[in-house]
Amino acid sequence: MKALVTANVDKENRRRLKEDLGLEVDYQPIAERDERLSESELIEAIEDVDVLIVGFEGVSEKVLDAAEQLELIACPRGGPDANVDISAASERNIPVLYAPGRNAVSVADFTIGLMIDVARHISHGHHLLHTGTYTGEPVTDSASGGEREDVTWGVAKGSPYAELKGPELEGKTVGIVGFGDIGREVGKRVRGFGVDILAMDPFIPQEEMPDDVTKVDLDELCEQSDFVTVHVPVTDATRGLIGSDEFALMKETAFFINTARGAIIDQDALIQQLKSDNLRGAALDVYDEEPLPEDHVLLELENVVTTPHLAGAAEEVINRHSTMIVDDIEAIFEGEEPKHIADDSVLQLPELRGDD
């Protein structure tokens, strides 16, 4: 049996595919290519493939029509429907495995980093130093007169100490929009800062939330939070979830963080709030168009931290999703139910072993 692997899979799990599961593996990871395989390239590569482990290539109905031998798809992402036509696969009785929560820890870590960054001017201070705003002639002892030297940038008007003050997290209220895998990990981390935690998630009742998390609706969360952070997938229900009305409810002193997807918010409405000082700051890892154009207004705003869709890009994520996917492939090979399958109605499992 042959497997085409276009996703990034770690060395140990490539070994498992070959040695433990007996697959002939054609490994073409996205990390070693300049771009995704085109539809025509994927069709050519998948012609005699039984198992496809796909990262970001589009697996359309047309691709599936050309893959006559294909019996199993694994997509090591939290939302495989972004690039795999799940319905078309189900119609062909092809299970689609995926890896929910694979980057929850990574995104949660990054989210906390962005909270502190935007509140305490870390990236902004870095930028001002590198562009010469706060460089100058060193002063050995800027205070003078004490029993020891006091080396500072200065504390008077115009100094970074005076101009770049920001709030501590302790005692603030953090509102988490979406309390799934990532939202829960954010909650675990942020409680260590001594904050109050609010959560909005229509699918999770209060009794299933941690004792220190209060479930509220979106309006209440926006009104009460000092930090609003978004962790929901893009669906018909969440597209444009936070727009002009929601931003208008937020405190002028609040910070907004988005490491989910740009489509969840009205980006123009956010920009307007930031430009009019109706919101203290924002930290964004995702946008309504990517990459950002070099002249984008977000890159000009001093109260915005921007990063290029990095929240899920921790080194450990590849190891985690590789193990999740290969574990489930092995389960199917052994005639057992996988833990993570996009459409569990497709469990009339194909006899993947012994077909040769």
Torsion of CA 334, 335, 340, 345, to 10 degrees: 160
DSSP state of 75: E
CA–CA distance, 5 with 231 (Å, rounded to integer): 29
Taking only Cα atoms into account, the Rg of the chain, rounded to an integer number of angstroms, comes to 24
Active-site positions read 261, 290, 309
Report phi then psi at 233, rounded to 5.
-80, 165
- Strand pairing of 227-230 and 24-27? unpaired
CA atoms within a 13 Å half-sphere pointing along the CA-CB vector of 347:
13
Q: How far is CA 139 from CA 1, 281, 321, in A?
A: 71, 32, 52
Cα angle 210-214-220, degrees, rounded to a multiple of 5: 155
